[in-house]
Amino acid sequence: MEDAKEREKLTLVTRKSCFGLPTSCPNCLPVYVYLKFSKTPFDLDFNLINPDSDQIPYVESGTYVAYNNEKGGVIRSLIEDGFVDLDSQVRGIPEWISAKAMVDSWLADAIIYELWVGSDGSSAHKIYYSDLPWPLGKILYLKQVHVVKQFLGITKDNAERREEEIYRNANDAFSALSTRLGEQAYFFDNRPTSLDAVFLGHALFTLYALPETSMLRSKLLEHDNLVRYTEKYRSELVDSSASSSSGTQSQSDPSSSVPRRPSQWMFRASLRAPRLIPQDACHFPPATGIRYQVTLSTKARIDGKKSPSVLSLSEV
């Protein structure tokens, strides 16, 4: 197994690049940064046809595959399976454990809140659904909004209170991390760890992928040393990647980067019915606990012009 790991180069499969980032996915960026910090040679490939898959990001090396939704994520898999471990010297330090927990929970929650609930959805659409036909992208977006609200425990009755809690926790995390970092090169032990990788992934996404009106972005910008830290490693790890031997982007057909398991959604709809009103059902996975009836209505032609299709979504 060890020999195979040494022979086979890693391939990191992520969602596509945009916003000037190597990948625009908030789950993918920390893995990208972790591999760059470790100086592990890897190819970067994009999966454009399974935007809803919770397996992304994943890494491949020969027959080895580590998925985002297994064993605590890709970084933990790479550590436990002996590929690369940046945390060996800090894993037992209580302050490191606490800081890592803040980033993994409070900052991660704030990012998914802004991406799916606290914004107009334009960033999410560009990252996940811009390559899909309408109305499929819209349906998947609405599904994910519902899932995120459930995950964050947001209801109509507590929406305002939960928003305040999410931003308060994020601000507390930024303050604590800013104090911990000071003017050091890294958060702990003068070396990069998974804490640096995960924070940088979140910070890069917050500064470059979220809109300028983002509340989370404005809170991060209040901490000059965190911004300088982010910009420093963006220049070293992201901007320089084009001339680096590691992190090579593959421009292959996206169908070559498909998880080994099937996608989690199914959609059926007919867009061709100029005088009829078709109704098609779109049932999402049982794991979401909900079923939707999608009504796609194409009205009759009036004065030689066809009125636009109308999409409605309701629980059944």
pLDDT tens-digit readout, 12-60: 999 999 999 999 999 999 999 999 999 999 999 999 888 778 999 999 9
Selected residue with higher pLDDT from 61 and 289: 61
Quick check: 184 and 193 in contact, CB under 8 A? no
Yes or no: say if 60 and 78 are a contact pair by the CB < 8 Å rule: no
Return the higher-pLDDT residue of 201 and 256. 201
pLDDT band of residue 292 (cuts 50, 70, 90) is: very low
What's the pLDDT tens digit per position in 239-275? 765 444 445 554 433 333 333 443 333 333 333 333 3
Task: For residues 201 and 23, give the distance between their C-alpha atoms in angstroms, rounded to a whole number.
Answer: 10
Nearest-5° angle of CA 215, CA 218, CA 221?
155
Q: What is the pLDDT at residue 112? A: 96
Residue 80 structure tokens: 């436990």
The residue among 235 and 1 whose pLDDT is bigger is 235
Q: Is the pLDDT reported for residue 162 higher than 80?
A: yes
Assign 137 a pLDDT band (cuts: 50, 70, 90): confident
How confident is the model at residue 304, as a pLDDT? 41
Please report which confidence band the pLDDT of residue 287 belongs to, taking 50, 70 and 90 as the band edges: very low
What the block records as the tokens of 153 is: 């425990």
| DSSP per residue, 44-108 | EEE--S-TT-TT-SEEEETTEEEETTSTT-HHHHHHHTTS--S-TTTTT-HHHHHHHHHIIIIIH
What's the pLDDT score for residue 202?
Answer: 97
Closest residue by Cα to residue 160 from 118, 120, 127: 118
